[in-house]
């Protein structure tokens, strides 16, 4: 799994911009597949059916290698590509952006359209929460109850994420570690419990970590 940057899921982020009486609205959403991206674009077109244009772009894949843009009737290269460039400048993937335009009666020209669509897309992306999908290793720890308090205190101090805890005859904790943390963690836990624990690696998982801006 590769770490990559995207926008947070679960909501649509938006922003507005006006120039020469034309009103522009950007809509930004996290998407995982081309089908989700198309459905998002279609939903915005349905919602703003009375708009002059609903131009769009998206970038998909951990490496951002799937890209598409649509001018939706604007002169070629003046809308979809500027929106796509805004996504790429933010180094985002799994992200779709639709910019809705209500024409105000004054033509902007090719340069004006490029600037307007680029700026509106950038405003929407600035309003979005950016997260880095970060690869963590999931590890199962099994230990006796007499070591539980010591281990839990150690996990809290090190700010290690605990995905789940199962209290049975013995305690099983599923924890999440960055790959670089695993070896040192196991050495420390070995010292802490005098090697009285079992562990099993359960593979990797991607977790969204908010990117400070």
The reply to whether 97 and 170 lie within a common domain is: no
The reply to whether 79 and 177 lie within a common domain is: no
Tell which of 62, 93, 128 closes a domain. Answer: 128
> What is the pLDDT at residue 149?
94
Average pLDDT of the residues of the chain: 96
Summarize the confidence of residues 120-134 as an average pLDDT: 97
Residue 37 φ/ψ, nearest 5 degrees: -65, -45
The reply to whether 75 and 19 lie within a common domain is: yes
Confidence at 12, pLDDT banded by 50, 70, 90: very high
The reply to whether 201 and 103 lie within a common domain is: no
Summarize the confidence of residues 115-143 as an average pLDDT: 97
> What is the pLDDT at residue 1?
65
Tell which of 93, 111, 128 closes a domain. Answer: 128
pTM of the complete model beyond 0.85: yes
Domain containing residue 43: CATH number: 3.30.230.30
> What is the pLDDT at residue 2?
75
> What is the pLDDT at residue 101?
98
Tell which of 83, 100, 128 closes a domain. Answer: 128
Q: Say whether pLDDT at 9 is over 80.
A: yes
Summarize the confidence of residues 161-176 as an average pLDDT: 95
Summarize the confidence of residues 61-86 as an average pLDDT: 96
The reply to whether 180 and 96 lie within a common domain is: no
Q: Say whether pLDDT at 213 is over 90.
A: no
The reply to whether 118 and 137 lie within a common domain is: no
The reply to whether 147 and 118 lie within a common domain is: no
The reply to whether 28 and 86 lie within a common domain is: yes
CA-nearest of 89, 142, 130 to 213 is 130
Q: 96 lies in which domain range?
A: 4-128
Number of domains comprising the chain:
2
Summarize the confidence of residues 24-40 as an average pLDDT: 98
The tens digit of pLDDT for each residue in 135-156 reads: 999 999 999 999 999 999 999 9
Percent of the chain at pLDDT > 70 equals: 100
Q: How far apart are CA 95 and CA 61, in angstroms?
A: 10
> What is the pLDDT at residue 27?
98
CA-nearest of 43, 63, 64, 65 to 54 is 43
The reply to whether 102 and 17 lie within a common domain is: yes
Confidence at 178, pLDDT banded by 50, 70, 90: very high
Handedness of CA 43, 48, 49, 55 (dihedral sign): negative
Confidence at 212, pLDDT banded by 50, 70, 90: confident
Q: How far apart are CA 79 and CA 163, in angstroms?
A: 43
The reply to whether 102 and 174 lie within a common domain is: no
């Amino acid at each position: 799994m590769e770490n990559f940057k995207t926008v947070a899921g679960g909501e649509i982020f938006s922003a507005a911009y006006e120039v020469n009486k034309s009103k522009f609205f950007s809509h930004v959403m996290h998407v995982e597949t081309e089908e989700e991206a198309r459905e998002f674009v279609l939903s915005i077109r349905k919602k703003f059916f009375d708009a002059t244009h609903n131009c769009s772009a998206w970038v998909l894949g951990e490496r951002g290698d799937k890209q598409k843009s649509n001018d939706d009737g604007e002169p070629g290269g003046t809308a979809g590509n500027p929106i796509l460039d805004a996504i790429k400048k933010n180094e985002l993937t799994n992200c779709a952006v639709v910019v809705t335009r209500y024409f105000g009666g004054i033509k902007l020209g090719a340069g004006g359209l490029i600037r307007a669509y680029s700026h509106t897309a950038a405003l929407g992306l600035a309003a979005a929460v950016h997260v880095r999908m970060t690869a963590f290793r999931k590890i199962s720890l099994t230990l006796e109850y007499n070591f539980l308090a010591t281990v839990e205190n150690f996990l809290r101090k090190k700010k290690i994420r605990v995905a789940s805890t199962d209290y049975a005859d013995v305690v099983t904790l599923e924890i999440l570690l960055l790959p670089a943390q695993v070896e040192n963690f196991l050495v420390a836990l070995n010292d802490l419990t005098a090697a009285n624990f079992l562990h099993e690696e359960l593979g990797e998982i991607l977790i969204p970590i908010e990117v400070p801006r």
